[in-house]
Structure 1
């Protein structure tokens, strides 16, 4: 039976790192700095540092748990195994719902880079269907396309950094913290928004059933991918702030394109746009794969309809889950614009990692790779950053989790009767 099959272990360390980078160095690097700067001013760099520290703590928790539970589902599985069914359900529900919205946002962001407004929705749907088809054909094809997209994005970012510092008239004074531009709440809010960009390393753990030698590969890949992403974000953040300044950065809808324009090197503007499109595609590709694997794990435990637990007998992917995800994302793309959903996604992701930290804290000594203090710091960081998010994001997140509780309770009631 296809439902009884497991996914194939075909990914090595380099593949896993690329999938993590494809998730983290996505559209966030092209867009997240503007709302973060609007919240914190020049303190956006402090917010970036805080987001990186919380991300590192969470990454150690995920790496430690993935080594013990090398299967599909990520924190859904960890929460369920270590803390109980409800913990796992809320982690999985928040991930699936929040990241499905993120998929729609990434598809629309990609379309915004490549076609006029009138064509954006159909082109976004075409991108979703095309990438779902790549995922459907097997995880090695997913890894191969991700590698190509990551190389394109990194090359564009290197070009932008060179252009910004050589011809963008950067002013180091713009990096200084002044009382009128920084506040504690603003810094925390910017950290919560920027954390959204770092959350992609979870895709490595979510695909743990497809990684070779997972006890060794997954921890290495998670920390390596996060380290590279932090370095890239730090370099880009310093550059855009030095070139544009706080006010221009905060008011920009496409800050990296504006940096390219500021250099006077007009030929770099379309290249940066290509980089933004490639980054959006890379994030979308990894998101579809991650949601499919989490859906598979939840369906195996009947937290989602069991027929979604099927694994393709030839390609060894969760094909029904991926088809359903692509269909829902396409419907969202055609009906709503979710590009402003970054705060809502951060809410779900932070609670997802809160569960991971608590689950890792309960692991026995022989399973531990990192001190418990990191899990405590990570959990506190998640709670603080959630509290600092815009109230609209918190309200939307609470509503989604309330809907999830009703759904799970209804399924449990139906099962009993």
Structure 2
């Protein structure tokens, strides 16, 4: 029997870490603090700690599983191997629907900063088409462009922080505001769910496991590096925003970092922040399209998606049918959805994905374990809790799309059964 074509292993620790970092230091760092502050006020600081801990639990599960199963598909593969085909399908479907919405959100955020008024949707669609073409021409180009984007974003963030701290600086007395728990624990947990959306990019490293050199060593290391750097950056920015704008000020603007810079004596740096936000969104979108293509490839190989999507380009060694299809679906979402709805819907799918990852990692034998089981238990429980804090409409749409996926697989399995 012929083996299915495989992808080329071209990524080392540095490039894999950058892909994860580029996925996390995206639009979330510029926009996620606004809804988090609206939900929890200064309690978003607790929410950030909770989100970081949940991200760490999920990251260790992903790293442990990726070291044992270094193939494209991430938790779709892990769920199938450890728990069975249906669990793998739920993870893969959750990833595809959630991250498709997330990719649309990244494109819309880019357009909000870069497009003339009234042209946001066409510019967002154009960005998706352009970056899908970049991914189509090979993973080394994806890693190369990601490197440029990450450097540009980190430079913009450094300028923003320097502008704030080099001026009057944040007022630490105003950080707490009415109190960390003024909005209650529900608000804090809701802010954690919203901020978790901005952390979730480390999965991109695991989904590209078939293209990483020495995956058993490289993937866990790259995930740890990318997540650690992101946690530090997010913490500094959260403290800075609350210190300059206060909880109500952060909640009242869609561009809190740009406003914080503009409020100081170095307002000239505000346009730099806006450019950084646009570039960050492109970096996250680039990595999202790559990860979605690889997960769709893995699912198509098992016929959980149409087999046509499993094609690998003879020259560029990428899942070109999957990437073109994903790009087209993202464009459709952009045409019909808004940013807030896309983020909420994305969180539902991503948390489902990591729930399966934690359960799968919990079942691994002792010789494959890298982290204690308590982290996987905590991660699984946290995923369920954070889902309950999402807006009801997001949960309802998520359940509906989950039902559509289950029905598709059920009917496909029935058709494949031999007649009596």
TM-score grouping bracket, smaller chain normalisation: over 0.9
CA contact 2:65–2:78 (8 Å) conserved in 1: yes
Q: Match for residue 353 of structure 2?
A: 352
- Calculate the TM-score normalised by the size of structure 1: 0.97
User: In the TM superposition, what is the alpha-carbon distance from 1:373 to its structure 2 partner?
Assistant: 1.0
Q: Match for residue 366 of structure 2?
A: 365
CA contact 1:27–1:279 (8 Å) conserved in 2: yes
CA contact 1:2–1:311 (8 Å) conserved in 2: no
1:76 aligns with 2:66: no
When the two structures are aligned, how many residues end up with a matched partner?
A: 417
CA contact 1:188–1:388 (8 Å) conserved in 2: yes
Q: Match for residue 203 of structure 1?
A: 204
Report the Cα distance in structure 2 between the residues aligned to 1:52 and 1:173, rounded to whole angstroms: 24
After superposition, give the CA deviation of every residue in 1:197-242 in whole Å (9 maximum; x if it has no partner): 1110000000000000000000000011000010110011110111
1:224 aligns with 2:225: yes
Report the Cα distance in structure 1 between the residues aligned to 2:242 and 2:196, rounded to whole angstroms: 18
- Residues 1:405 and 1:147: Cα distance change in structure 2 (over 3 Å): same
Q: Match for residue 257 of structure 1?
A: 258
Runs (5+) with no aligned partner, structure 1: none
Q: Match for residue 247 of structure 1?
A: 248
After superposition, give the CA deviation of every residue in 1:282-338 in whole Å (9 maximum; x if it has no partner): 010000000000000000000000011011111100011001111111222233334
Deviates more, 1:169-178 or 1:224-233: 169-178
Report the Cα distance in structure 2 between the residues aligned to 1:192 and 1:104, rounded to whole angstroms: 19
Q: 1:309-348 alignment to 2 at 5 Å?
A: 309-348=310-349
CA contact 1:168–1:243 (8 Å) conserved in 2: no
Q: Match for residue 156 of structure 2?
A: 156
- Residues 1:248 and 1:215: Cα distance change in structure 2 (over 3 Å): same
3-state SS, counterpart of residue 340 of structure 1: helix
Q: Match for residue 47 of structure 1?
A: 47
3-state SS, counterpart of residue 267 of structure 1: helix
CA contact 2:132–2:324 (8 Å) conserved in 1: yes
**RMSD between superposed Cα atoms in Å:** 1.6
Q: 1:9-408 alignment to 2 at 5 Å?
A: 9-176=9-176, 178=179, 181-408=182-409
Report the Cα distance in structure 1 between the residues aligned to 2:175 and 2:120, rounded to whole angstroms: 36
CA contact 2:101–2:345 (8 Å) conserved in 1: no
- Residues 1:336 and 1:373: Cα distance change in structure 2 (over 3 Å): closer
Q: Which stretches of structure 1, 4 residues or longer, exceed 6 Å deviation after superposition?
A: none
User: In the TM superposition, what is the alpha-carbon distance from 1:122 to its structure 2 partner?
Assistant: 1.9
CA contact 1:38–1:250 (8 Å) conserved in 2: yes
User: In the TM superposition, what is the alpha-carbon distance from 1:148 to its structure 2 partner?
Assistant: 0.5
CA contact 1:3–1:309 (8 Å) conserved in 2: no
- Residues 1:173 and 1:297: Cα distance change in structure 2 (over 3 Å): same
Runs (5+) with no aligned partner, structure 2: none
Report the Cα distance in structure 1 between the residues aligned to 2:325 and 2:166, rounded to whole angstroms: 47
CA contact 2:104–2:342 (8 Å) conserved in 1: no
- Residues 1:178 and 1:335: Cα distance change in structure 2 (over 3 Å): closer
After superposition, give the CA deviation of every residue in 1:112-147 in whole Å (9 maximum; x if it has no partner): 111212222222122111111111111000000001
3-state SS, counterpart of residue 133 of structure 2: helix
After superposition, give the CA deviation of every residue in 1:30-72 in whole Å (9 maximum; x if it has no partner): 1000100111111100000000011111111000000000000
Report the Cα distance in structure 2 between the residues aligned to 1:348 and 1:130, rounded to whole angstroms: 25
